[in-house]
Each structure stands twice: as structure tokens, then as C-alpha cells.
Amino acid sequence: MREGAAAVEIDGLRVVRGGRVVLDDLSLRLPAGRVTGLLGPSGCGKSTLLRSVVGVQVVERGTVRVLGLDAGAPALRARVAYATQAASVYDDLGVEENLRYFAAVLGVPRDDVERVLAEVDLADDADRPVAGLSGGQRSRASLAVALLGAPELLVLDEPTVGLDPVLRADLWGLFRRLADEGRTLLVSSHVMDEAMRCQELILMRDGAILAQETPDALLERTNARDVEDAFLALVRDGGAAVR
Amino acid sequence: MSPTRTAATTRRVVDQLRRDPRTVALLLVVPLALLWLLELVFDAQPATFDRIGPALLALFPFVVMFLVTSVTTLRERTSGTLERLLSMPLGRLDLLVGYLVAFGLVAVVQAALASALMLGLLGLDVDGPAWLLVLVAVVDAILGCALGLFVSAFARTEFQAVQFMPAVVLPQFLLCGLLVPRDELGTVLEAISWALPLSYAVDAMQRITVETGVSARTLVDLAVVCVAIALSVGLGAATLRRRTA
């Protein structure tokens, strides 16, 4: 048993997109105040699960409770931050202009913009239009929006893809600091080597959860050298080892 | 609705327009060029120009604003920013009204320029007050924005959005009484024409051409167009889904 309340509780979740069952009878508990990594190959349903937690996904069956409320409840809109996989910022505006707008929508003080610009290392590019940025810079601009204010739950869909390793380490450090402040982070990635930076792991494949535990416990249980190996071991066992 | 969030949205859309001077130039210049062309076409028939000029002064900005608004809001949808905004504490009306005010500001400038061109350089002759002519043109351009906001909810791609222009705008043009007076359209078509907002805008314009002063009918026509604007925005908000498949 884990101490502390669950930030997210999902029971029997079933999601159908475009006639295809993406998630079926999925249940999980997400511990509060931790960085949880959601790992799995692309197309396994990670983004759909995250969309369900944020409350922007049409759900066929099951319940998704977030911070004690139904996912997507109006009271959650300022408490849950979300960054989609594709950078969702305005291409034709500058980085800072984007952030100022989202800050106004969130009702966050304007000086918060400078803080998040520094956190994603874009302070020097504040005035540049997003259209002129590199892919990594764009996704950092999008991530910065999710950092505005003091969200209790941050849902980040592949925020570190394509970033330079130094920056990636910095961002994982930032995620960890946010968790230490008591925030809950759910971060997806298809890069298995990012798993060791998480405090908790959820491994996913074909819309089902293979395992949920700490990275060390996972490696120990599967006798694997790294998370990629552990993933393979779990798939070979047909998920039999799942708690 | 929250006034601060609506104003922030307006500000953001205006910022986007400022970063795109070419679009702004097209927005302002195209209706002027079309009206000038109209005057050249009817050079030998000044009476016809005086008769249909005001109606087209209502029509051209309407069409241009419809197109620009529907494509812009569609871009919001496809870029993922709409999904992000709808996961935030932003009211659906905050977003749509924010857009409407921003494009409404453009519409005011556009209609003022077009009216000034018509009444000044092109020598359009109307019996009614000039300010009323400008007002109807502005309200009509805003109607174009509101309809554009509404139909963009049904378009998934830019190609589809552009197709809504002939689908939504041209029937209104055919039935608005400009080609054939509405009472000569036959019972069915006339009944349909009463349900289309552009008919009221064109009626108002035609009345301004021949009536001095401000008649109650013209004010009623304006009110009907304003109701159509409110209805389009309301329906647009109702069709905006926070949850999508």
C-alpha cells in the first residue's frame, strides 16, 4: 500500500476512437506529489489516457476522478495543466505574447510569465515568433504554458521529445522540484531511458497497463538491466507478473 | 462570461492580425477594389450604380469577413490551441465574443473606408444619412464574422471551411432581393428569404438609398441583423465541445 491520497483514480475506463477500442477496462491510481512516468510505444493509448485525465476525451464507459472531482469538471480547469504532444501555441505570435495570453486566461499574474520562460530556458527567445523556433523550442514554449500558475496536477504528453540531453535533464529536475512542492505530475514518453528519472512508472502496451511500480522495484522484479529489458520481459510473460 | 478573458482574447487576435499585415491589407483593400470595379462596370448607368451600390457595400465586407473568420477559427481548432483553451477556465462565449470584437474592429475600419470611398470618390448618391449607411455596413460585416464563427464549427479542414462560403453566402445573395425583388420570388423562395439575415441588411441599405431620415423599418431591419449575430454566436458556443472523440 502507498501512503497519501491518490490524485487520479480511474476505474473501468473504456475509450473508443474512430471505431477502434483504444482503452478497455483500464483502472489505475496515481499517487499525489510524485512524478509518474507513463511509458509505452507510440500508438499504445498514452495520449488517449492523458486526454481522459484532463477531461477533453469522450469516454464510453468508466469513471475518471481527478483531485476528488470528475475529470474535466469546471472547478478543475485552473488546477490541472495540460500540454499536448504537438505544441499547442500560436505560431504567429511571439513566445511571450503566447504566455501572456494564456496567463490572462488562467488569471495568473503577469510576472509569472518571466518565471516560466526561465524555467524552460526560453528567456532569450521571448520576442521571437513561435513559427521561427526549432521543434524543441516550440515544445518548450508549449510546456511553459502548462507551468503557468500553480497547477496541482500537470499532465504532460511527451514534453522532452527531441530535446538536447542537457535540457532534458534540466526539465526532469524541474519536474522533480515541482513534485517536491507537492504537485502531481503525469508525464508520458516513448523513450524508455527517461523512465529512471520518474518516481513511479506506468508501463503501457496496446491500451493495457503492463505494470505500475517504482523503477527500482520494476528492475528487481523482472531481473532486467534497464526499463527496456523489463518491458520486454513483461510482454513475454504476457503481463502475468502484473500485480 | 468574464470581461477580462474576453478582452485578453480580443487582444490576442488583434496581435495575431498585427503580425500579419498582408492579411490586414487584403481585408481592407479587397472590398474597396471591388466597389471601384463595380463603379467602372456601371459607368454608363449611374442610376443602377446608385440602386445596387449600397447593397453591395453591405455584401462585400460581409463575404470577406465571413471567409477570414471561418478560416482563422478553424486554424485555432487544428493547431491544438482550442483544445488547450477549452481545458482552461475560459468560457466558450469568452472565446467567441473575443474573436467577434477583434474582427468587429477590423469590420468598423473596413466599412468606414468602403463607405467613404463610395460616398466620396465614387459619387454614390443616397437620400438617407451617411452615418446610417456606415452603421449598416459595419453591422453586416460583423454578421459575416458571426456566421463565419458558427460554420467553422462544422469544418474539419480549411478546404471545407472555404466551401462554406458558397454554401452559406451565395444563397443569401441570390435571395436577398438584389437580383430580383423579393416579392417576385414566389411564395416559397420569398418565405426562405425572410429567414436569411442578409435580406434584412440589403433591405435596410435599399431604404437608405431612397428615404431621407431614419425610418422605423430600417431600425427593425438592423435589429434583426443584430439578433442574427447574437444567435450565430450563441449557436457557435453551443456547438463548441470541450470533450471530443
Contact A36, A211 (CB under 8 A): no
Taking the C-alpha atoms of residue A48 and residue A13, their distance in angstroms, rounded to an integer, is 11
Which residue of A17, A80, A101 is in closest CB contact with B8? A101
Sign for the CA dihedral angle at A53, A59, A64, A69 comes to: positive
Q: What is the mean pLDDT of residues B213-236?
A: 94
Asked if residue A203 belongs to a domain, the reply is yes
What residues contact residue B120 under an 8 Å CB cut-off, 6+ apart?
A: none
Per-residue pLDDT for A18 more than 80? yes
Contact A92 B19 (CB under 8 A): yes
Which residue of B15, B90, B245 is in closest CB contact with A105? B90
- Of the two residues A238 and B81, the one the predictor is more confident about is B81
Average pLDDT over chain B reads 91
Residue B164: per-residue pLDDT: 86
Chain A neighbors of B89, CB-CB under 8 A: 74, 77-78, 105-107
User: Which of B12, B94, B95, B241 is most worth mutating to test chain A (most A CB atoms within 10 A of its CB)?
Assistant: B12
Q: What is the mean pLDDT of residues B90-97?
A: 94
Contact B243 A72 (CB under 8 A): yes
Residue B199: per-residue pLDDT: 94
Residue A47 belongs to a domain with what CATH number?
3.40.50.300
Counting residues of chain A whose pLDDT is more than 70, the rounded percentage is 96
Which residue of A72, A80, A145 is in closest CB contact with B242? A72
With CA atoms as reference, the chain A residue closest to B98 would be A105
- Among the ranges given (A139-143, A194-198, A210-214, B14-18), the one the predictor scored with the smallest mean pLDDT: A194-198
Asked if residue A110 belongs to a domain, the reply is no
Contact A56 B87 (CB under 8 A): yes
Chain A neighbors of B243, CB-CB under 8 A: 55-59, 72
pLDDT in tens, A152-176: 999 999 998 878 888 888 889 999 9
With CA atoms as reference, the chain A residue closest to B7 would be A104
Q: Which residue has the cell 472547478?
A: A75
Distance of residue B228 Cα from the nearest chain A Cα, in angstroms? 28
Q: Using alpha carbons only, what angle is made at residue B213 by residues B211 and B219, rounded to the nearest 5 degrees?
A: 90
Per-residue pLDDT for A239 more than 70? no
At A145, is the pLDDT very low, low, confident or very high (cuts 50, 70, 90)?
A: very high
Q: Using alpha carbons only, what angle is made at residue A152 by residues B78 and A41, rounded to the nearest 5 degrees?
A: 55
Residue A2: per-residue pLDDT: 44
- Grid cell, residue A84, equals 499536448
Sign for the CA dihedral angle at A73, A79, A80, A83 comes to: positive
Closest by CA position to A49, among listed A75, A14, A5, A81? A14
Contact A43, A204 (CB under 8 A): no
Per-residue pLDDT for A48 more than 60? yes
Residue A4: per-residue pLDDT: 61
Report the domain count for chain A: 1
What residues contact residue A169 under an 8 Å CB cut-off, 6+ apart?
A: none
Instruction: Specify whether the backbone of B45 is left (phi greater than 0), alpha (psi in -120 to 50) or beta.
Output: beta
Residue A1: per-residue pLDDT: 38
ipTM (interface predicted TM) = 0.87
Q: For chain B, how many helices (H) and strands (E)?
A: 11, 0
Per-residue pLDDT for A242 more than 70? no
Contact B19 A129 (CB under 8 A): yes
Residue A194: per-residue pLDDT: 84
Asked if residue A23 belongs to a domain, the reply is yes
Asked if residue A43 belongs to a domain, the reply is yes
- Of the two residues B160 and B139, the one the predictor is more confident about is B139
Per-residue pLDDT for A243 more than 50? no
Per-residue pLDDT for B194 more than 50? yes
- Grid cell, residue A116, equals 516560466
Residue A238: per-residue pLDDT: 66
pLDDT in tens, A52-106: 999 999 999 999 999 999 999 999 999 999 999 889 999 999 999 999 999 999 9
> Helices in A94-153 by DSSP H: which ranges?
95-106, 111-119, 135-147
- The pTM of this model reads 0.89
User: How much helix, strand and coil, in percent to the nearest 5, is found in chain A?
Assistant: 40, 30, 35
Contact A34, A184 (CB under 8 A): yes
Which residue of A80, A105, A145 is in closest CB contact with B5? A105
Taking the C-alpha atoms of residue B200 and residue B223, their distance in angstroms, rounded to an integer, is 9
Counting residues of chain B whose pLDDT is more than 70, the rounded percentage is 100
